[in-house]
Amino acid sequence: MKEKRAWSKPEPESRLSVNSFRGILLTVCAVLLMEPFFPNRSIGDPGLFLWIANLLTVYLFGTIPGLISAALLCAYIAIGPLIPGSAFEHTPKNELRIVGSAIIFGTSSLLVGLVRAKIQKEARRASNASREAEMEADLRHRAELHLRDSETLRRLVVESSMDAIAACDKDGHIILWNRHAEEMFGWSAAEAMGRPIQEQVDVAWTDGPSLPFAHRLESRGCARGERGFDVELYVVPHESPEGRIFMFFIRDISERKAAEAAIQTLNASLEERVAERTAELTAKNEELEGFSFAISHDMRSPLRSIVANARFVLEDERDRVSADGRLSLERLAGSAMQMSLMVDDLLRYARLGNQAVRIEPIALSEIAASARSEVLVSYPQATIEIEPSLEAMGDSMLMSMVLVNLFDNACKYSRAGEPARVTFGKIEQGGEPVFFVRDNGIGFNMAHADKLFRPFERLHSESEYPGTGFGLANVRRSIARQRGRVWVDSTPGQGTTFSSP
């Protein structure tokens, strides 16, 4: 919406008051200057002088100050001179002149005021038009500078781009070719102008490129000398005054494609190597497990025979065997029995590798109660507390074996003269549930914690605490088969805690 012109606004009251005061002052000064020149004449003689003073007031200060001046002059003509001693005659002729002067002064004030207002209006209109023309010229100049700067910036962006940038008309002829396009394709801008874009990149053309706009796609480029290379295209149509043009943003991806091919080759090679190593490892594990199973299975019969024969001699030939011989036979039977237990544990450890694992929701509290009943047969003085309603995802058979081993281990390594107290429960640790088995046993030095889960490894002698060294090894392997982990925390003389998430 256009702004209102200054000449259309009425004059402020303060300015009108000032102009009126100035008009009155000018009128009074004119009368005071006139009377010394006309001391002995009638007041009507200097009418032309007063009329000129009235017109000057109107021209200088406006219509309303001019009308006020006319009223004052008519009053002066009616009242008489201001300086005493001046000749003044009141005749009908003078009264007629008073009325005529009022008409002349008032009419001339209105006419001159209208002419003055018209002149001022036209002057203001001309001033506003000149000001608007100057503003439009300034805006046009700024727009030209902005356009020139934009064009400079556009050229700078196009020329400094790390991608090749080309533009084509609707027929596929090149009309823009930046510096990087010169380096990529080997054609200078002057040589590339007017050439078909299809000679540089592999793209079909039917009234424009036959490919999706504003999408990155891969193609082939052809540099000078028929050298082909992989490129990535990004095409954008643009409507210009000269018609539709197509902007091509072209990136050389030869190095990336070579790297991708090398990675694919490496991945294929790695997959083959992993498959080979996996097959070798699987075969070795199967062979080892088969060997362990066979050895343990084949050793059980001879060991049973040794135990049976030793007991037979002790029972049937006791009187014919010396005391030392009986002691040796008892040691032989005990060692054979210990060996038989180790073979059984080794066989159980080997079977864990082949046992099918079925992960499903299980009631841990119920499994723990069954394990407690089994362990308390050997340790009736022990106390095993189980937190109710514990549930988890796992294999019920493997978890049963885990809890039996942990409960048995906790009861076995209790402090002398103090019944074992074992607690099975759950805590929150790091935002996930962690199940634990805690006891009040003898504990151990954490410096030896890495040996605890190895087969055949023991922290105490057989004479102190009997066992084969496979219990905790079976615990770790069973939990690992269920995609879990187990760790231990212990303090000598204060007890041990096994934890597993």
DSSP 209: B
Residues 363 and 485 in one domain: yes
| Torsional sign, CA 31, 34, 35, 41 | negative
Task: Report, as an integer, the average pLDDT of 318-344.
Answer: 69
Contact yes or no for 165/158 (Cβ under 8 A): yes
Q: Single out the residue of 119, 208, 133 nearest to residue 169, CA to CA.
A: 208
From CA 411, how far away is CA 372, in angstroms rounded?
Answer: 11
What phi and psi, each to the nearest 5 degrees, are found at residue 14? Answer: -65, -40
pLDDT of residue 332: 72
The per-residue pLDDT for range 176-230, each reduced to its tens digit, is 888 888 888 888 888 888 888 888 888 877 666 666 666 777 888 888 877 788 8
Quote the mean pLDDT of the chain: 76
Does residue 117 fall inside a structural domain? Answer: yes
- CATH of residue 198: 3.30.450.20
The DSSP bridge partners found for residue 240 are 243
Of 203, 235, 252, the last residue of a domain is: 252
Q: Tell whether 479 is covered by a domain.
A: yes
* Residue 236: inside a domain: yes
**pTM (predicted TM-score):** 0.42
Has residue 349 been placed in a domain? Answer: no
pLDDT at 9 exceeding the cut of 50: no
pLDDT on residue 464: 64
Question: Which tokens in the block code for residue 440?
Answer: 């009040």
- In a shared domain, residues 114 and 176: no
**Residue 252 pLDDT:** 86
Q: What is the pLDDT of residues 423-481, one digit of tens each?
A: 999 888 888 889 999 988 888 888 777 777 777 666 666 656 666 666 788 788 888 88
**Cα distances (angstroms) measured from residue 304 to each of 69, 292, 309, 317:** 149, 18, 9, 19
**pLDDT tens per residue across span 12-53:** 566 767 777 777 777 777 776 766 665 544 444 556 677 777
Domain match, 47 and 130 both: yes
Under 8 Å between Cβ of 227 and 219:
no
- Indicate whether 347 belongs to any domain: no
Domain extent for 64: 6-135
For the ranges 106-110, 275-279, 423-427, 472-476, which has the lowest average pLDDT?
A: 106-110
Bridge partners of 176, per DSSP, are 167
Q: Is the dihedral of CA 379, 383, 389, 393 positive or negative?
A: negative
Strongest mean pLDDT among 80-84, 275-279, 328-332: 275-279
| Confidence check: pLDDT of 92 > 50 | no
Domain co-membership, 169 together with 214: yes
Q: Does 496 score more than 60 pLDDT? A: yes
Q: Please, are residues 310 and 336 in contact by the beta-carbon 8 Å criterion? A: yes
> What would the mean pLDDT of 93-114 be, rounded to a whole number?
71
- Domain termination residue (choose one: 235, 252, 269): 252
C-alpha to C-alpha distances, 481 to 151, 319, 352, 358, 370, nearest whole angstrom: 69, 54, 8, 10, 22
Give yes or no: residues 379 and 429 share one domain. Answer: yes
Residue 140 in domain? no
Q: Which residue has the higher pLDDT, 238 or 295?
A: 238
Q: Is 235 helix (H, G, I), strand (E, B) or coil?
A: strand
